[in-house]
Amino acid sequence: MSELVDSIREKYLATLDRIAVAAKKAGRDPQSVKLVVVTKTQTVEVVRAAIDAGVNILGENYPEEGVMKIQSLREFSAVEWHMIGHVQSRKAQLVAGNFNFLHSLDGAKLAKKLDRFCGEAGRDLSTLLEFNVGGEDSKSGWPAWDESRWQELSAELNEVLALPHLRVRGLMAMPPLGETAEFSRLYFQKVRRLQEYLSAQFPSVDFSELSMGTSSDYEVAVEEGATFVRVGTAIVGARKYNTETE
């Protein structure tokens, strides 16, 4: 196990270094960027090794798998568990009752269910609103690829922002997959413009967080304003097994 911990620590620290370089290049404080280590499909043993290596924010894609790991690793109370994958409405209760942060709130129906379950559990949930900035059918999120139609988002977002147990903290997006990291830049810039637009539309809401960038393009994401980047394989290795289907 010590070899695994050492390997993960080396990759984790190297990723933090690259984030710092990208932040400084953009004139940003490296401390303003948080690294979410994605552990979907990894075993509990690998996740434990990641925690031992110094990782303090873990990202999971599947509610049932994530809850199993949370329950198995309860002694690590300082670790934050972030749900970063699409959440089906029927799994809202699992997320509301167990995770510290949701990156992928993508509709009013899910928001209302999460809010109800949070209320029943006596807790609030920090969340990011997910937007589809590339127009891909395969991606979740509110439609935001056409900037001329952003005003059409306001009515539904008003409903979500009024829910008492959800704490909206910002935006999340996944650009279309390109052959180079640079391909993502225009999409990250669009997310940043959307952040500015929503901040003007809803001045009482905190939209300061931006979750964007993965193993293939996180440095560009940091240059364009990301405050959360989601990196998995580059730190903890290849996926270990297939888990529940969506």
DSSP assignments along 175-220, one per residue = PPP-SSGGGGHHHHHHHHHHHHHHHHHSTTS---EEE---TTTHHH
244 pLDDT more than 70: no
Question: Using an 8 Å Cβ cutoff, are 101 and 84 in contact?
Answer: no
Question: Using an 8 Å Cβ cutoff, are 223 and 26 in contact?
Answer: yes
Give residue 118's pLDDT: 98
User: What residues contact 246, with CB distance under 8 A and at least 6 apart?
Assistant: 62, 85, 86, 88
128 pLDDT more than 80: yes
CA dist 220 and 22 (Å) reads: 7
**C-beta neighbour count of 131 within 10 angstroms:** 25
223 pLDDT more than 80: yes
Domains defined along the chain, listed by start: 2-236 (3.20.20.10)
**What are the structure tokens assigned to 1, written together?**
């196990």
Give pTM, 2 decimals. 0.95
pLDDT by residue (tens digit) across 62-88? Answer: 999 999 999 999 999 999 999 999 999
CA dist 210 and 195 (Å) reads: 8
Question: Using an 8 Å Cβ cutoff, are 127 and 168 in contact?
Answer: yes
Question: 38 forms bridges with which residues in the sheet?
Answer: 59
